[in-house]
Chain A
């Protein structure tokens, strides 16, 4: 072994070790449309068999990122690798990925069966193999008796299953899903979330899933990447993203939260105390490295707020409505308004004065946003 090789292998010990487990990777990816940078120096890695969700509001670059992996957009800078192969300059029809499109994109002139076997005809399989794979896939999708129908004769949920079958019958190492549940109604969507999870377990492919629905992301994903303005805002397991959002943007996007601005009065042991004016002081965890006197933004989940009735002092309840399983309450203190979700039962009514309590471990403190 020469010195040069030894040096090289020492140089990148981590990458060579984990290369086989990485299924999709984007390195320093940039995509511009005119003056707009849709994807801005993005680094992303999905492990083999992972259910990875790209989550963000519309225009955050999540769909563009997916299209870069699928090959429908060309990178302006950076590289894409899929299943250990550099595909940066490879056209979509030669990439080892398939896609479930937002509007399903089923071929209207072909029957369900012909739709599903569409891609297999170019794979060098014989008729018998094609038939058995299509039949197997229709079984997995629970649409075995629909082979002769045309897509327009199917319901939205059935079309969804055909689109999935058509993509998965190719046995791709990576499946891309672009808001596939977006056009289904609420109940079907909930059902399909569990279905997708089951299918993911059964086929074992890497799923890269794009959505703006945080609930969908939380339910299905092994890992969530929250995107904003073409960059990654936070990358982690669903629980981490929910419980420990790194920025106020993430806290706001994932689940309901109250965002209140104030001034830092004390900071020690990872806890920061913030003066919120009329709302009083609150202690919370922070990784922002804030010092006394700095402006800060505090995130408090409505479900974490405890409301205690007082006699004649503190904040005032301005509104209380029954929201199914809980009561959503609006509480005003000076300039600030806070929403609290309290259990049904004996709770203060509008006009009464209250004291608010929240556990410090549940409160997150961020740098104030300068907008």
Chain B
């Protein structure tokens, strides 16, 4: 005969105390993360935000509240003229170009990887080739481009060997184009990975179903593969757009004197110019732009889900 356990001795999952105990445990487990994020992420951001409303003085900051910094950034101040907003737009333009080029490069590569390379060894090899650049630090890769595209660099000496020093090709050195090239190379692997992740999970039988219904290869790509890979493209593009329009290393290393991007201006406000409040204000305008970008892509993704 089996003995029945009285139900009163079993832990009752509907008991509110029981639930409280559980959630408290979760809180303690999560505490280190909250602490870390609070100390090194939330508080610095908050300080920066407060600072963006303060006034710079000769050697520091005066805590006088005003919107002057934002006025200056948005070009509404007579004193500074209109320099930050055009730089922001230029940064966005460069970011958009980098995003467009790396998407154009990454999509075929991800497609190849997901559908055309059948042997797992070859796929592994190709995948590794895509990932390997990520193992080197970003700074190192940007420097590599300086070696290639910089003064007396690989590209410059190649041009001089070919006798093309003073043609349009030499315009590539220290230019906006150099910035775009360097950042495209840097961000393409991220794009490949996000697009590949989506394509790899695309059920093969959807492609078969399309062909089965009399639809050829190109139309199948347009009507099934492309729309279903869009979430990956949007995710990768958001990522690339956000990071590349806020970049300051590539313009510093391979850009020319006039090719300053918005992040370089923030950098100089915190450095040489020593105007932290203005730097903070520029940073928050840039942050607002990125936040809008992320919001748009989230909305786009949600609509795709339904």
* A residues apposed to B, CB below 8 Å: 70-72, 91-94, 97-99, 101-103, 105-109, 118-119, 122-123, 150, 166-167, 170
Interface stretch among B101-109, B118-126, B204-212?
A: B204-212
Cross-chain pair count, CB within 8 angstroms: 63
**B209 near A101: Cβ-Cβ < 8 Å:** yes
**B208 near A118: Cβ-Cβ < 8 Å:** no
Question: What is the bound-complex CA distance between A123 and B219, given in angstroms?
Answer: 13
Most buried by A among B213, B214, B215, B306: B213
Question: What is the bound-complex CA distance between A313 and B268, given in angstroms?
Answer: 106
CB distance from B49 to the nearest CB of A (A): 40
Residues of chain A within 8 A of B227, CB atoms compared: 109
Q: Nearest CB to that of B223 among chain A residues?
A: A118
**B213 near A105: Cβ-Cβ < 8 Å:** no
Question: What is the bound-complex CA distance between A71 and B210, given in angstroms?
Answer: 13
Question: What is the bound-complex CA distance between A126 and B135, given in angstroms?
Answer: 55
Question: What is the bound-complex CA distance between A279 and B99, given in angstroms?
Answer: 80
Asked if B165 is at the interface of the complex by the 8 Å CB criterion, the answer is no
* B residues apposed to A, CB below 8 Å: 203, 205-206, 208-216, 219-220, 223-224, 227-228, 304, 306
CB distance from A34 to the nearest CB of B (A): 13
Assuming the contacts A103-B205, A109-B228, asked whether A92 and B219 have C-beta atoms less than 8 A apart, the reply is no
**A99 near B206: Cβ-Cβ < 8 Å:** no
Q: Nearest CB to that of A116 among chain B residues?
A: B213
**A105 near B209: Cβ-Cβ < 8 Å:** yes
**A98 near B304: Cβ-Cβ < 8 Å:** no
**B210 near A118: Cβ-Cβ < 8 Å:** yes
CB distance from A158 to the nearest CB of B (A): 17
**B215 near A103: Cβ-Cβ < 8 Å:** no
Residues of chain B within 8 A of A94, CB atoms compared: 214
Most buried by A among B203, B212, B214, B306: B212
CB distance from A165 to the nearest CB of B (A): 12
CB distance from B205 to the nearest CB of A (A): 4
Residue in A92, A106, A109 whose CB lies within 8 Å of B208: A92
**A123 near B212: Cβ-Cβ < 8 Å:** no
Residues of chain A within 8 A of B214, CB atoms compared: 93-94, 119, 122-123, 170
CB distance from A99 to the nearest CB of B (A): 5
CB distance from B297 to the nearest CB of A (A): 17
CB distance from A61 to the nearest CB of B (A): 18
**A70 near B212: Cβ-Cβ < 8 Å:** yes
Question: What is the bound-complex CA distance between A107 and B212, given in angstroms?
Answer: 13
Residues of chain A within 8 A of B304, CB atoms compared: 109
**B211 near A92: Cβ-Cβ < 8 Å:** yes
Question: What is the bound-complex CA distance between A119 and B220, given in angstroms?
Answer: 11
Residues of chain A within 8 A of B203, CB atoms compared: 103, 105
Residues of chain B within 8 A of A166, CB atoms compared: 209, 213
Residues of chain B within 8 A of A119, CB atoms compared: 213-215
Question: What is the bound-complex CA distance between A119 and B219, given in angstroms?
Answer: 11
Residues of chain B within 8 A of A118, CB atoms compared: 210, 213, 215, 223
Question: What is the bound-complex CA distance between A71 and B214, given in angstroms?
Answer: 12
Residues of chain B within 8 A of A71, CB atoms compared: 211
Residue in A70, A98, A107, A167 whose CB lies within 8 Å of B224: A107
Residue in B213, B215, B228 whose CB lies within 8 Å of A108: B228
Question: What is the bound-complex CA distance between A101 and B210, given in angstroms?
Answer: 11
Q: Nearest CB to that of A92 among chain B residues?
A: B211
